[in-house]
Structure 1
């Protein structure tokens, strides 16, 4: 509490940092949603990989239009519909997740609107990648040159917002075959398939260095306090109804029928 007081006295907002390793992505998304809706603190969650492969869809995405359903059923890949918008991504142990949850007045000049938040986040990550690659924010994606390595999604409430990113530090090429070319692809993608459209961050900087540089960039705008997941004081899963959920096999099979 003393640190929080000093941060406020100095006019710098406090941000609680939770570093995770291999937390299943469904658990991470449930935690994010609880923190957004039931906490009044600013948070940064960094999850270094998830325990096993999964497909994560945006809140309004249509399964039959975004995913090759037959191979997903064949390989028993779980599909999660998250509480935020954005596109569809395959995640696994090679994905690094960074989530920023902020009160709307926590960051000067950032308005609680998607474009303002994206612009701010693009500037934040330009510090992270400075001197390492041709980093840019293009149509809500993080890219090196014209190849995507980070996909973003957001949710904005009356007083707070969340901005979360799946960073492709590495990926398995075969997993990209689960994704269809979306009808609303960004213009810079042209008609490139997934393998030509995305790239691996590991070709540009080490995994641990990316995480440390991200924390340092956040420390330029917040007073950062590291805490453990166990010490987070928010309602438990049993006390909070989540929007994020695992799709049932029946829902996936119905989408498979639409594709047939």
Structure 2
């Protein structure tokens, strides 16, 4: 039995506002997500199909020196963003499809606002999306086809709300993966495989991106009343919000090379927007 399967038969489904974007910069997307998490009381699903330029995105507590090949990043002018949520480090580009759920704690009947419970629910939801397109698994904190990862997740939980966002690899450039180090803490199922053996592309399993996004809308419709919402409405009345997601400057990265140690979270808060 899935979360809310009994109760939702007898009560009105909560509203889920769906915002779709095409190619929005990942920094803009993360600023929007944090604003909606902290300044609204609605449930949201944000879908962003691709982003440019290629950008490295890190969790709030990740250490740059342990996760990023800093010298090539500086040489090739690859932006590095530290987001407001936890989770690992990814490089995203036009081949990445982003899906984010921002929900009130009471939005899903029976769902406890803890990381494993949220992952269990999202895993069930994506299981419906990918049914018939491959052997889908929730492996530890990743989405995988068989034993290869195609979706990385991050979460943030506040007093009354939570956010779960995923970067899905519809496609990826092998060259871009060279900007990332293999993390010191990796899931057991990775078994020390390099990126090319550990990752797979969704386009090997699904016919089109539109089939994927339509599947998300259909799966959400089993839990929510889904309402398509224009981006302008999502942005309204929150112009004074100052997000914590930041871009690391070239000088920040150069300083890390010089000191051979990662900056602290306190220092991150002072970096320019």
Say whether the fold is shared (TM-score over 0.5): yes
Q: Write the mapping of 1:203-218 to structure 2, written as runs, cut at 5 A.
A: 203-205=204-206, 206-218=208-220
2:50 alignment partner, SS class: strand
Match of 2:50 in 1: 49
Check 1:55–1:233 CA distance in 2 against 1; reply closer, same or farther (3 A cut): closer
Q: How does 1:1-260 map to 2 (within 5 A)?
A: 10-205=11-206, 206-232=208-234, 234-237=236-239, 239-258=240-259
The answer (yes or no) to whether the contact 1:104–1:112 under 8 Å persists in 2 is yes
Distance 2:12 2:50 in 1: 34
Take 2:260 and 2:217, find their aligned partners in 1: how far apart are those partners? Answer: 43
Offset of residue 176 of structure 1: 0.3
SS in 2 for 1:50: coil
Whole-angstrom distance in 1 between the partners of 2:223 and 2:60: 30
CA distance in 2, matches of 1:34, 1:211: 23
Deviations 1:149-204 (A, max 9, x none): 00000000000000000000000000000010101101110111111111100000
Q: Secondary structure at the match of 1:243?
A: coil
* C-alpha separation in 1, matches of 2:199 and 2:174: 10
Alpha-carbon distance in 2 for matches of 1:148, 1:111: 26
- 2:61 is paired with a residue of what secondary structure? coil
| Structure 1 CA distance for aligned equivalents of residues 179 and 194 of structure 2 | 12
For normalisation by structure 1, the TM-score amounts to: 0.94
Does structure 2 retain, via aligned residues, the 8 Å contact 1:170–1:200? yes
How many residues were matched structurally?
252
Superposition TM-score, scaled by structure 2 size: 0.89
Give unpaired runs (5+ residues) of structure 2. Answer: 1-7, 262-273
RMSD between superposed Cα atoms in Å: 1.5
Following TM superposition, the consecutive aligned residue runs of length 4 or more in structure 1 with deviations greater than 4 angstroms are: none
Q: Which runs of 5+ in 1 are unaligned?
A: 1-6
